[in-house]
Structure 1
Amino acid sequence: MKKSIVVIALLSLLACNEQQQPAEKDNVEKEVVKEDTSFLQYNSYFGSWVGDFIAEEYSDGNGDGSHSNKINLVLKRIEGDSVFGQSIVAGNSRAFKGVLRKKDSLYEFQVQEPGDEKYDGLFTFSIKDDTLKGNWTSFRKDLPVVKRRFALVKSAFVYNSALMLPDDMDYVDYVSGKTEEVIEENEEGVKDTFMVDVFRAASEKIFELNASEKELKEADVKNLKKIDLEIIRNTIYARHGYTFKKRTYRQFFDYVDWYIPISTDVTASLTEVEKKNIALLNRFEKYAEDHYDGFGR
């Protein structure tokens, strides 16, 4: 019994000594991998920069600024001096890439869209304080607008079902107006014929019906004008950040502060209530009519 205890004690002592011996050094020194944190200096640049995309130069030399839109420039990644991001404007979502250079105390960016779509171009801009400011030049010189300017502020998109169009604006569809013949008779009984521009205008219902929060019934929409139905339906998409390709709709949403275009397809983010209301509104839009009248710009 004593011999067994002595043997166990000796084995334990040898094991402890072996563990205390320093490990042999590898012949090859292991490489120390350092995490690349250089991108952290650009953290404040990443995200959505939103504002007006203002027409500045036209291919025919003329223009009235009516082609201006809202744009979202998304800065996603900076690796060394390479920049990667996305432009979202007027129903288009385009990846871009380019370079940045430091000039004095500012970083200057020059990025370009792929060039395989009609409205692709080159962005040149810098960021100072809380403003991203610069210009865009079209790759094509036969477009109505060949150069634009912008001064954007950083804006985070957040879906909010309660958002409504501001009621201090008149929602008149100037894009799809038409000309009508008017005949008037003066005091002498002489008839005078002339042409006038007429437009359709939305009613107060667009401020009352929220199709993102309440399931609408036929009674809610059956007497609405077509433009009312269109605006109520598209306000759903605007809340989700849909970028409108149609100028008719952009004229109503581009000037709304809370509207931030982020995607060309928001179908997956629609709620069940919104899907049902979109179906109902679409059904009534097919048969709804509009009344045209004269409105001053």
Structure 2
Amino acid sequence: MYKITTLTLICSLLLFSCKEKKKEAKDALTKQELHKELYGSYIGSFSDYEYKGDIFTTMSLSINSITEDGVNGYAIVNGNRRVLSGTIDDKDSSKIVLDLKEPGDKKSDGVFHIVIKGDSLLGTWKPLLSESKLKTKDLALAKKSFKYDPSLMLSEDGMYIDYTQSKDTSMKYDDNDSSYVEKVFREASSAVTHLNASTTVLQESELKNLKKLDLEIIKNTVYARHGYAFKTKGARQFFDFQEWYMPIYDDVENQLSKTEQTNIETLNRFAKYAQDNYDSFGR
């Protein structure tokens, strides 16, 4: 009799546990999603507070879900993808306020305080650690939908100078024999604005006289078209000011076309032996 009672109790507990788990799963599935019109990617400037957007990095912030439990999404800044979670305040009909935190397992993590009005997202980012040396940032983003376009090119009006790499060179004054030291930087040619490695298989005759920076930029433009978020400032600096650039992915290798894969292999091969053109430029 005792064994039967114990067995009955165990079965009852297991049945109750299963029912509770099913109820929890059902509740999770039926949680009402809020403000679905806010879902999507927001792209724009991420800049030091004191510069007010004059010097910036292009960042993306994506909102994936909003329920009564909170907001979930992710941000990509400087090629680093960080998960976001936080709260929403929609009491004011004229705006929606979000407070979103990064995980906190890195010293560089912080919290976003965001105000959304229409398709515009304005706010600040502050480091989570009070003793952090990182500065407060401003962000000004707009909602955009990403669509891969292989025809996108760098603007022909730009000067494509690599300010992240320099070397000192000895220069002579025009009126005497004395000399001075001046910093010179890598400069790309106009080839970066008209050679498209996404649409056409590039010929060796088109590449053999190009400088190393030309080859790097032509290759990186392929990745930029796919929405790749560059991790190095040296690569980002040429795309942050392009209106079409949307850094929303941290890996796009599987998205490359056969033409792009072929061209990237060729560009890498030529870049191994290419030289660079250095010159002096004002900042």
1:112, 1:121 within 8 Å by CA — same for their partners in 2? yes
Q: How does 1:1-297 map to 2 (within 5 A)?
A: 36=30, 38-39=32-33, 41-56=34-49, 68-105=56-93, 106-140=95-129, 145-184=134-173, 186=175, 190-297=176-283
Task: Identify unmatched segments of 5+ residues in structure 1.
Answer: 1-32, 58-62
Q: Which amino acid aligns with 2:70?
A: S
The 3-state SS of whatever aligns with 1:253 is: coil
Q: Aligned residues, how many?
A: 257
Aligned mates of 1:259, 1:142 — CA distance in 2: 34
TM-score by length of 2: 0.84
- The residue aligned with 1:4 is none
Q: Which amino acid aligns with 1:158?
A: K
What's the CA shift for 1:66?
Answer: 8.4
1:56, 1:145 within 8 Å by CA — same for their partners in 2? no
Q: CA RMSD in A?
A: 2.4
Task: Identify unmatched segments of 5+ residues in structure 2.
Answer: 1-25
Cα-to-partner distance string for 1:199-249 (whole Å, 9 max, x where unaligned): 111111111210000111211211100110000000000000110011011
Aligned mates of 1:233, 1:56 — CA distance in 2: 33
Residues 227, 64 of structure 1: CA spacing in aligned structure 2 closer, same or farther, 3 A cutoff? farther
TM-score by length of 1: 0.80
2:53, 2:138 within 8 Å by CA — same for their partners in 1? no
1:140, 1:146 within 8 Å by CA — same for their partners in 2? no
Aligned-residue identity in percent: 41
What's the CA shift for 1:139?
Answer: 2.7
Aligned mates of 2:58, 2:207 — CA distance in 1: 30
Aligned mates of 1:273, 1:196 — CA distance in 2: 41
Aligned mates of 1:232, 1:153 — CA distance in 2: 27
Residues 140, 220 of structure 1: CA spacing in aligned structure 2 closer, same or farther, 3 A cutoff? farther
Q: Which amino acid aligns with 1:129?
A: G
